[in-house]
């Protein structure tokens, strides 16, 4: 186990804002309500994009709230100390985010009807997104090169541990009525995923409202919205050049992986994920 993380039950967490005590309390004591909505992802999978979309679906495309309340307050991270404190006594339905692996999620989730939206992204793009993000963050262990970081990704020596374990764990929930699985790639491709989100949340939007959701959750609009682009937290968690909204595209990994890395990744992916249906991974 490396010193560059906070560890809880064998899973590494960022060194800022997380403690084993709070992580234990969250798992044992946080109570999900039936009317909560949980945004669930492995880091760098498009979490903030999904939060923005869900906020806009609830406001029927009206951007007032996304322009006035920071995204981390609209959907706090339950496992982070400040998120837990903000959420635990909050009245009414809550929008909640998490990157927790299934074994660390509050136990109450499994006895509630809270709606869970799980967003998956091609792990090769997750890897590259994390490479650029963690490389300039002040809360994750520093790596020397893409080669080293690639090894760490495969081993799970990164915040929240292994993508492969995380995905396996949560995919065991597929088919449950309150569990919607979406992919970053399909979300980029067309509007069908947004319609699925509306249906899942029981919200009916007019075409112009749907257009407004699309427009206001676009990469460009989010990048310019200081309530969504994390520029307000720049000093706390990123260096001068650190950005959350980097490129926002699918397949960027092809610009960075060597042929050897691409082949090695394919092999590992096939070995580790062979037991799951391939339609769960809708990227080429």
Residues acting as catalytic residues: 99
Please, which residue, 43 or 61, has the CB nearer to ligand PPS?
Answer: 43
Q: By C-alpha distance, which of 249, 191, 248, 188 is closest to 222?
A: 248
**70 lies in the binding site for ligand PPS (CB under 6 A):** no
Find the binder of ligand PPS among 27, 44, 74, 124 (CB under 6 A): 44
* Cα(11)–Cα(261) distance, integer angstroms: 25
Site string for ligand PPS, 229-268 (x = CB under 6 A): ---------------xxxxx---x----------------
Strands 37-41 and 115-120: parallel
- Say whether residue 122 binds ligand PPS (CB under 6 A): no
Number of other CB atoms surrounding residue 122 within 10 Å: 21
* Residue linked to tokens 């991974």: 281
Rounded to an integer, what distance in angstroms lies between the CA atom of residue 280 and that of residue 158?
23
Q: How far apart are CB 218 and ligand PPS at their closest, in Å?
A: 6
Nearer to ligand PPS, 26 or 222 (CB): 222
Q: Can you tell me which of 17, 32, 48, 170 binds ligand PPS, judged by CB under 6 A?
A: 48
Burial class (CB in 10 A: 0-12, 13-18, 19+), 75: buried
Of 13, 32, 49, 143, the one binding ligand PPS by CB under 6 A: 49
Q: Nearest approach, Cβ of 271 to ligand PPS (angstroms)?
A: 25
Is 196 or 252 the residue whose CB approaches ligand PPS more closely? 252
Q: Which is nearer to ligand PPS, 112 or 234 (CB)?
A: 234
Count other Cβ atoms within 10 Å, centred on residue 154: 19
The pair of structure tokens assigned to 85 is: 């404190």
Q: Does 196 bind ligand PPS (CB under 6 A)?
A: no
Instruction: Give me the residues paired with residue 115 across strands.
Output: 37
**Other beta carbons less than 10 A from residue 12's beta carbon:** 23
Q: Which residues would be at the binding site for ligand PPS (CB under 6 A)?
A: 41, 43-49, 125, 129, 132, 217-219, 222, 244-248, 252
């Amino acid at each position: 186990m490396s010193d560059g993380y906070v560890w809880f039950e064998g899973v590494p967490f960022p060194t800022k804002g997380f403690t084993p005590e709070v992580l234990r309390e969250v798992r044992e004591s946080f109570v999900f309500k039936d009317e909560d909505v949980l945004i669930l992802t492995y880091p760098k999978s498009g979490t903030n994009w999904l939060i923005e979309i869900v906020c806009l679906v609830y406001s029927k495309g009206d951007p007032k709230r996304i322009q006035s309340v920071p995204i981390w307050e609209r959907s706090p991270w339950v496992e982070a100390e400040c998120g837990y404190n903000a959420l635990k006594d909050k009245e009414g339905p809550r929008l909640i985010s998490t990157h927790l692996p299934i074994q660390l999620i509050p136990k109450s989730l499994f006895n509630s009807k809270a709606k869970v939206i799980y967003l998956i992204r091609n792990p090769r793009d997750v890897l590259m997104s994390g490479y650029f993000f963690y490389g300039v963050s002040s809360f994750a262990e520093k790596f020397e090169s893409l080669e080293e970081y690639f090894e760490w990704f495969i081993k799970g020596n990164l915040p929240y541990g292994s993508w492969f374990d995380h995905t396996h764990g949560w995919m065991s929930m597929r088919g449950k009525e309150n569990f919607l699985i979406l992919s970053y790639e399909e979300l980029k491709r067309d509007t069908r995923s947004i319609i699925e989100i509306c249906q899942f949340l029981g919200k009916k939007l007019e075409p112009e409202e749907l257009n407004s959701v699309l427009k206001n959750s676009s990469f460009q609009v989010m990048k310019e919205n200081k309530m969504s682009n994390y520029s307000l937290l720049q000093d706390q968690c990123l260096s001068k050049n650190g950005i959350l909204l980097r490129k926002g595209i699918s397949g960027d990994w092809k610009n960075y992986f060597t042929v050897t890395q691409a082949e090695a990744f394919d092999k590992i992916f096939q070995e580790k994920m062979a037991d799951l249906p391939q339609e769960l991974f809708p990227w080429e």
